[in-house]
Structure 1
Amino acid sequence: MTIRDDLPVDEVMRSWPATIKTFLDFRMHCCGCPIAAFHSMTDACREHGVDRAAFRAALEATIAG
């Protein structure tokens, strides 16, 4: 599986647990949020006012190790 902007936030964190820190670094408190199963990464970035491209780059760097 590759990371995509349309993936639900919960799926991203479950597939790549190291990304939880990235969410927290961007002040996105999606861990444990009941909406995380329904919000895509795009939705979450919009709701939290986070630059989607910068966030995705950080996630990819985290996944790459």
Structure 2
Amino acid sequence: LQADYKFGSFAKTWKFLNSIVIPAHTLKHHPTITTTYNKVKIELTTHDQGNKITSLDFKLAELINQTY
């Protein structure tokens, strides 16, 4: 499960990244994040389920989308 996000500046990119820390920590589920200057790619799988996409991935994806 993946999503790409684009921002107007480097500062806005990092503000977004900081905003997903608490939801990820709360769910004890951490995304794979790739970032460049103003772009972020989030990838979600559940590693202990054989890197499959589970309901936990969808839940975190929803919380991340709410911060965008």
Q: TM-score range by the shorter chain?
A: 0.3 to 0.5
| TM-score (norm: length of structure 1) | 0.44
Q: Which has the higher helix share?
A: 1
Q: Which has the higher strand share?
A: 2
